[in-house]
Structure formats: structure tokens, C-alpha cells
């Protein structure tokens, strides 16, 4: 019970603010009393007056956090108003006599240096004739603050829980998209490796398998990580393009330009692979061997810009959004919300352009 009560005590900021508040009120009350005594011609000091008042105000320093902890322990489930009234009356009947007794005894000890009954009796009229209604107002204020803190804590916990649930849901959706994307990438890459194997080119096949193993290793390394650095992403893309260039031999020309300052930026893992794959697949359908793929990555303000250009068959519809590109769109939406840009457009020079803009967080 005591351990549970201690767990519900307010934090350091509340305790410090509470202490300073009651010491301040004690100082104000002591100053008013001291001023009246001086005006009446009584000889006294402000410190003596302050010490006389501290037993009546000082106990609220521990009393307020104790009341707050007790109220925080009340059951959270919905209950009738009468049950709340009953609990608060019970708390009042126990705690107020406690603080009155503590104030009386500490005042006696402060003024007389002992707790003899005759000295207690001398101060008892001060308590009995004192402003009980003022203590009840103070108690009501403390209870109100305690319920406000409890309500705010409940709202904060619900918001935290909602954020955690939203994050879990987001992660589940991202994992589902990655699970859908990885087999798609694997099947297409294996199909590319089949080309040198069919041609019985063992050296090329070994190189392709080596590049694929590096790619699969990176997939496994990022199984639980949604983000990676652009430098690692480019290693993945270079392995992928090495395999594709083996497949299409002289039909695929690659031009990559990446600003070195951008390599440190974080990007979603396998963001570029479906974009590059989309360009390779559409370019490979050209009858001409002039199939240039241009990948340019640079920073522009607080954005990372990825620009992919590839040739395409002009007399056929370039849909662009295969499963890889479509999943990239969904992943970017779930990671960046509406703070990213993914555009696909046909250019007048016979190229198709894929443009991605991501916030860098700088």
C-alpha cells in the first residue's frame, strides 16, 4: 500500500512548486501579522512571527502531495457520483483531523519546547476558534488540483497509447509492404541471373550470384530497420545494376551522379530499387541499343531530390506504377505523410522522368 502510494506521488516540479507556494503564503501571512503587531506597539521580530505561523502553513507542504497521491489511487473505471463523494468525504474525515492535530502539536512544540498537555490546552482555542472554513477552502483547492492532474495524466497516457498504437499500425503496414516488395524484387533479380546461366557464362554467373548475395545480406540486415543511409542504398543499387547490365549487355547504359554530401542522409531502405527497376524494364523494351538511364541525386534546400530519367516507347502508354513504384508511394506516405513528392512524367526529349523529393530534417 505504501509503495503504491509513493508511486503515485507527484513529480519533482510539482513538489518544488508546492513547497515554494506554501512557504510564500506563510511568509505573506506572517508579514501581515507582524505589521499589525508593530502598529499596535508590540515588540517582536518578523522571524519570530514567521516561525509562529509555519506550523499552521508548513504541513500543507507534505499534505498536498499526499492528497494528490491518494486521489490518483482512486479507481479509474466509471462510477456513480455518490461513490466519488463517499471516497472524498472519507479522505477528508481522515486527513483534515490529521493536519489539524499535526499543526497543533508542532505549534506547541515550537512555542513551548515541549508537548505537555497544559501547553497544548493553551493553543487549543486558537485551533477551535480558527477559520475552519479557510482550511476547507484550501482542502477543496488541493483536491481540485489533484483531480486536474489526474485528468491530465489520463489524457497524456491515452495520447501516448494512441501514438504507440498508431506507430505499431504504421510499422505493421510498412512490414506488409516490404514483405510484398522483397519477393517481387527477388523473383525479378533471379530472372536476370538466369541469362548468363543459360548462356553458360560461368564467370558472369558467379559475379551475378555474388552481387545478389550482397543484396540479400542487406535485405536481412534491414529486416527490422525501415531507414538506411543513402550511401548504403547506393551500394544496393550498384549491385542491382551490375546484374542488370549483365542481362542486357550493351543495351543498358547507366549514368549516376550523387552529391557526396547527400550520402549521409537517411532514406527508406529499397526506395531506389523499384524506381531503378522501373526504368530498366521500360528501357529494355526499346528496339534501339541506345538505352540511357540517368540517376541524379542532390540536395535542394531542406530536401533530398532523386531524379531518374530513362527512355521509353513513345507510342505505348507508360503506366509507371508497377507493384514496386506503387508500394514506394504507399511507404513514403506512411513515413513522411504529405511532406514528400513522387512524380512521374513524360518529357519532350523522349525521356520519362521519375522525381522524388524527401525532407532531410535539416
Residues 38 and 180 in one domain: no
Residues 176 and 246 in one domain: yes
Mean pLDDT, residues 238-267 taken together: 86
pLDDT of residue 171: 61
pLDDT recorded at residue 232: 92
Q: Are residues 227 and 338 in the same domain?
A: yes
Q: Residue 316: is its pLDDT beyond 60?
A: no
**Maximum Cα–Cα distance for the chain, whole Å?**
116
Rounded distance between C-alpha atoms, residue 243 and residue 189, angstroms: 8
Compute the distance between CA of residue 336 and CA of residue 359 in angstroms, rounded to an integer: 8
Helix (H/G/I), strand (E/B), else coil: 201:
coil
| pLDDT at residue number 321 | 47
Give whole-number Cα distances, 316 to 225, 284, 286, in Å.
Answer: 38, 14, 11
Q: How many domains does the chain have?
A: 2
Out of 109, 130, 151, pick the residue that ends a domain: 130
Return d(Cα 154, Cα 72) in angstroms, integer.
10
Helical segments of 40-116, H only = 46-57, 60-72, 81-112
**Residues 122 and 213 reside in one and the same domain:** no
Residue 30 lies in a domain: yes
Question: Within a 10 A sphere around the Cβ of 172, how many other Cβ atoms?
Answer: 10
Of 41 and 306, the structure prediction assigns the larger pLDDT to: 306
Q: Does the residue 298 lie in any domain?
A: yes
The pLDDT of residue 185: 62
Give the pLDDT band (50/70/90) at residue 10: confident
Query: In this structure, is residue 147 part of a structural domain?
Result: no
With b for 16 or more beta-carbon neighbours within 10 A and e for fewer, the 277-295 pattern comes to bbbbebbeeeeeeebebbb
Q: Helix or strand or coil: residue 355?
A: strand
Average pLDDT, rounded, for the chain: 80
Angle at 289 between CA 288 and CA 292, to 5 degrees: 105
Cell of 17: 512548486
Distance CA 230, CA 233 (A): 5
Q: How far apart are CA 325 and CA 205, in angstroms?
A: 28
> Is there a domain that residue 138 lies in?
no
Q: Name 344's Cβ contacts closer than 8 Å, sequence gap at least 6.
A: 318, 320, 321, 325, 352, 353, 354, 355
d(CA 262, CA 235): 14
Hey, which of 8-12, 80-84, 165-169, 311-315 has the most confident mean pLDDT? 8-12
Contact 288, 253 (CB under 8 A): no
Range of the domain at 301: 162-359
Let me know whether 325 and 251 are in one domain: yes
CATH of the domain at 255: 3.30.565.10
Query: Is the model more confident about 184 or about 244?
Result: 244
DSSP state of 320: -
156: in domain = no
Which one has a higher pLDDT value, 252 or 304?
304
Last residue of one domain, picked from the residues 113, 130, 147: 130
Q: How far is CA 170 from the centre of its chain?
A: 13
- CB of 170 closer than 8 Å to CB of 334: yes
Q: How many helices (H) and strands (E) does the chain have?
A: 11, 7
Band of residue 198 on the pLDDT scale cut at 50, 70, 90 = low
| Same domain, residue pair 121 and 186 | no
Does 201 lie in the same domain as 120? no
Between 93 and 287, residue with greater pLDDT: 93
Minimum mean pLDDT range among 196-205, 225-234, 250-259: 196-205
Q: 229: which strand partners? A: 266
Nine-digit cell at 253? 547504359
Residue 291, pLDDT > 80, answer no
Per-residue pLDDT, 297: 96
Q: Which of 130, 152, 179 is the last residue of a domain?
A: 130
295 occurs within a structural domain:
yes
Q: Mean per-residue pLDDT for 120-126?
A: 78
pLDDT at residue 116 tops 50: yes
pLDDT reading at 61 higher than 80? yes
- Do 124 and 185 have their domain in common? no
Instruction: Say if 135 falls within a structural domain.
Output: no
Identify whether residues 321 and 181 lie together within a single domain: yes
27-49 pLDDT per residue, tens? 998 999 899 988 888 888 899 88
Shared domain for 183 and 124, answered yes or no, is: no
Specify whether 195 is located in the same domain as 296: yes
Let me know if residue 136 belongs to a domain. Answer: no
Mean pLDDT, range 233-251, rounded to an integer: 82
Size of the chain in residues: 362
Contact criterion met (CB below 8 Å) for 92 and 139: yes
Element (H, E) at 360: none
The three three-digit cell numbers of residue 39, written as one number:
502598529
Position 288 scores a pLDDT of: 65
Domain co-membership, 177 together with 33: no
Amino acid at each position: 500500500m505504501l509503495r503504491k502510494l509513493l508511486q503515485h506521488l507527484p513529480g519533482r516540479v510539482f513538489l518544488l512548486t508546492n513547497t515554494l507556494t506554501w512557504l510564500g503564503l506563510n511568509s505573506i501571512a506572517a508579514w501581515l501579522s507582524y505589521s499589525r503587531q508593530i502598529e499596535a506597539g508590540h515588540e517582536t521580530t518578523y522571524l519570530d512571527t514567521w516561525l509562529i505561523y509555519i506550523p499552521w502553513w508548513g504541513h500543507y507542504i507534505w499534505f498536498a502531495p499526499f492528497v494528490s497521491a491518494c486521489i490518483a489511487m482512486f479507481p479509474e473505471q466509471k462510477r456513480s457520483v455518490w461513490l466519488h463523494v463517499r471516497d472524498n468525504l472519507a479522505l477528508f474525515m481522515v486527513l483534515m483531523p490529521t493536519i489539524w492535530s499535526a499543526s497543533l502539536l508542532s505549534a506547541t512544540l515550537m512555542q513551548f519546547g515541549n508537548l505537555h498537555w497544559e501547553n497544548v490546552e493553551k493553543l487549543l482555542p486558537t485551533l477551535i476558534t480558527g477559520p475552519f472554513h479557510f482550511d476547507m477552502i484550501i482542502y477543496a483547492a488541493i483536491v481540485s488540483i489533484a483531480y486536474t492532474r489526474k485528468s491530465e495524466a489520463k489524457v497524456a497516457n491515452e495520447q501516448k497509447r494512441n501514438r504507440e498504437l498508431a506507430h505499431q499500425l504504421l510499422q505493421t503496414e510498412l512490414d506488409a509492404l516490404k514483405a510484398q516488395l522483397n519477393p517481387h524484387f527477388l523473383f525479378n533479380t533471379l530472372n536476370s541471373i538466369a541469362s548468363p546461366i543459360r548462356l553458360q557464362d560461368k564467370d558472369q554467373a558467379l559475379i551475378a550470384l555474388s552481387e545478389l548475395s550482397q543484396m540479400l545480406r542487406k535485405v536481412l540486415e534491414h529486416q527490422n530497420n525501415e531507414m538506411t543511409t543513402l550511401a548504403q542504398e547506393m551500394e544496393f543499387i550498384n549491385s542491382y545494376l551490375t546484374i542488370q547490365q549483365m542481362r542486357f549487355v550493351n543495351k543498358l547504359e547507366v549514368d549516376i551522379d550523387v552529391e557526396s554530401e547527400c550520402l549521409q542522409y537517411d532514406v527508406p531502405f529499397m526506395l531506389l530499387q523499384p524506381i531503378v527497376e522501373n526504368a530498366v524494364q521500360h528501357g529494355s523494351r526499346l528496339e534501339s541499343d541506345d538505352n540511357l538511364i540517368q540517376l541524379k541525386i542532390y540536395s535542394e534546400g531542406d530536401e533530398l531530390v532523386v531524379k531518374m530519367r530513362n527512355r521509353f516507347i513513345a507510342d505505348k502508354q507508360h503506366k509507371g506504377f508497377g507493384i514496386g513504384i506503387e508500394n514506394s508511394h504507399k511507404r513514403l506516405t506512411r513515413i513522411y505523410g504529405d511532406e514528400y513528392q513522387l512524380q512521374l512524367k513524360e518529357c519532350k526529349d523522349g525521356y520519362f522522368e521519375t522525381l522524388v523529393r524527401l525532407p532531410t530534417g535539416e
